[in-house]
Chains A and B, each alone.
Chain A
Amino acid sequence: MTYLLEARALRKQYADKLALRGLDLQIAPGEIFCLLGQNGAGKSTTINLFLGFVSPTSGAAFVNGLEVAANPLKIKEYLAYIPEQVMLYPHLTGLENLALFSSLAGYRYSQPELQGYLTDAGLPAEAVRRRVGTYSKGMRQKVGIAIAVAKHAQVLLLDEPTSGLDPKASNEFSELLRRLSAQGTAVLMATHDIFRAKEVGTRVGIMREGELVDVRPTAALNAQELEQLYLTYMH
């Protein structure tokens, strides 16, 4: 089986810290894998390794079967990324930001299409032509979601993507993830939100001090069990 995301004995040593200790992970098309763990557990490092933002000390990360280190540009055609805090060009409008990032990804959309992506992501129609500098964190997050969706990526890398979103927008985002997953998109989402992970994820992995200490299918757990499991590893 071809995994869209795969980590083989992935290890990352920073100057004074071992951030990732031989991670092995496979995420298949249509799967939503939620990484849970405290700050510093290695969730963001894992995402950064898949993005090619940092180089592994040993081991390898693969996107759609391509090794990230050897194909740093090609793998970015397959993936979209939403960071915890989406930061955009503040003097451009939401529409202009989306047009810019989409065109860099190789997509040219008409104005109505761009507007459609933004409003689908939950951005109010009146805000799409406003400068992003006037946006709230949640509104920027929605533009980030629109950028990811408009890229038609096979892989979504999400680092606390619902941070800053109100409950309604978070629910809409979960719905969007489910929709994308149904279309075959693989999702790797780092989050602290156990209940969101349970609600949207197909599998959850718990990271602790750079190790993936437990992986469970969400269908096999209820929310309380997942919380209990999480707390067990965190203490």
Chain B
Amino acid sequence: MHTFRILFSAEWHHFRAAKGLVLLCGLLLATGLYGIYYGTTEIERQRQHLATLPELTRRNIAELKEKFPGPADAGDIGYYHSTFAVHHPDSWAALSLGLRDVNPTYVKLRLLGLQNQLYAADNTNPMKTLSGNFDLAFVLVYLFPLLIIALSFNLLSGEREEGVLPLLLAQPVRPAVVVGAKLAFRLVLVLTLALLLSVVGMLWAGVPPDGRVASWLVLTTLYCLFWLGVVLVVAGLQRPSAVNAVSLLGVWLLLVVLVPSLLNLGVAAARPVPQGIALTIQQREEIHAGWDRPKAQTMSRFFALYPQWRDTTTIRERFAWRWYYAFQHLGDLAVARQAAAYAQGLQQRYDLVEKLNLLSPAISAQSSLNALAGTDLPTHLQFQRSAERHHDALRAFYYPFLFRRVAFTHADYAQEPTHTFISAPELTTVQHGLLKLLLSVALVHLLGLGLLCVRPVTPR
């Protein structure tokens, strides 16, 4: 233990002397702080945008009250009145934005067909989306391994190449203790930076002090331990520093870039998902065809499904809102299977990635951090289901007005259902991610230790 402490302390001296590495750590710290700033700013921007939506609804209601000063036909109200299903971000989302930049954070809903409204999103800059998010999770998952590589590629080879190793190993010091002290120093350094950034990020984002704090910190620690294990494996091969650097960068490229890309392609091929646009087109065609179908045919199909409205009067007029909404509703039902298949396909892709991400701890870590922050795909699908339920509630609210020919009064606006959805963490994914990372850590460390046993450290 005494020797370990001496070597550990010597590592601190070596680190302080390596100005480039000190600078790199400072740079990464600054980059991490920028990542936190980026994430919190983005979530604040989304929050501010989402905060304007109730005002839009209030204005819309005010306009409708002005347009329809007395009791009105609910069909008119349902057509002109829009409400919002909003996906409020959890404060954790600032640390790991996940899919919040590509998936809509709110859905504008009217009483019309649901499906085309569900997939209508604001236009975004595709170039910006392509470049991804520069949040704290990105810094931890993608950039921290590079810091670990920069700090450790010459873990033993540096001393061997400088010629210090013979003098060092001529002392009563176990080579394993030398390696252990070097790794421990790097672990402490990297974890200090990673955990400091995480804590700053949590305070900045104002996350609640619950179990997720520990989960985030443990995930970060395990991920750093994994990369230090990779370093141990490469050091165990006892190759020159240049070979080590290339090998480690190769592993980084493989696990952080290539495997995720190949997995993406492989999963897309293995789990084909119907195109969302095809679903929307089919729904629109079904709805447009509704104008040309005999009203009786439309209504009998609708009543077959919703017999509770059967007793309403026969439609004799050229246009009736209840007929209009009936064929809108049938348009949704016509693509219900495709819509379910689309959501199920996305979920299946996600599940397959979750199974295969054992191949890349980078994907596993990113996926776990997104799940922790409630910014992953399952959370988005939950939001979509909640938007669907809200639309169902709107229909349930308006249909009595429409089918029982009850006038819609100003007081009824206040009775309209409201929507609430806040991202919740996917704790199962987080638990699985922790287990996978633990397994990866054990694997690389055992392999590294095995290599050091098989190939004892030699001074030359």
Give A residues with C-beta under 8 Å from B.
Answer: 51, 53-54, 73-74, 76-77, 79-81, 83, 85-92, 96, 100-101, 103-106, 144, 147, 157
Contact = CB atoms under 8 A, between A and B. Distances in A.
B167 A87 contact: yes
Given A73-B172, A77-B172, A100-B10, A88 B167 contact: yes
B3 A104 contact: yes
A76 B7 CA distance: 17
Given A53-B169, A91-B14, A105-B172, 5 more contacts: A74-B172, A81-B166, A86-B167, A87-B162, A104-B173
A138 to B, nearest CB: 16
B174 A73 contact: yes
Contacts, number: 67
Contact of B167 (A73, A92, A147): A147
B269 interface: no
A34 to B, nearest CB: 20
A86 B458 CA distance: 17
B182 to A, nearest CB: 13
13 contacts: A51-B169, A76-B173, A81-B170, A87-B166, A89-B164, A91-B13, A91-B17, A91-B18, A100-B6, A101-B168, A101-B171, A104-B168, A106-B172
Contacts of A85: 163
Contacts of B166: 51, 53, 81, 83, 87
Nearest to B19: A91
A86 B166 CA distance: 9
Contacts of A157: 170
Contacts of A92: 13, 17
A15 to B, nearest CB: 14
Nearest to A87: B163
Interface string B10-48: 100110011000000000000000000000000000000
For the complex of A and B, list the 10 residue pairs with the smallest distance between their C-beta atoms, beginning with the closest.
Answer: A87-B163, A91-B17, A81-B170, A104-B171, A76-B172, A77-B172, A103-B6, A87-B164, A105-B171, A73-B172
Contacts of A74: 172
B459 interface: yes
Nearest to A106: B172
Contact of A104 (B18, B163, B172, B460): B172
A105 B14 CA distance: 19
A54 B173 CA distance: 16
B170 A88 contact: no
A167 to B, nearest CB: 25
Nearest to B459: A53
A53 B456 CA distance: 10
B185 to A, nearest CB: 14
A73 B10 CA distance: 20
A112 to B, nearest CB: 21
A18 B48 CA distance: 79
Nearest to B171: A104
A163 to B, nearest CB: 13
Contacts of A79: 170
Contacts of B164: 87-89
B295 to A, nearest CB: 89
Nearest to A82: B167
A108 to B, nearest CB: 10
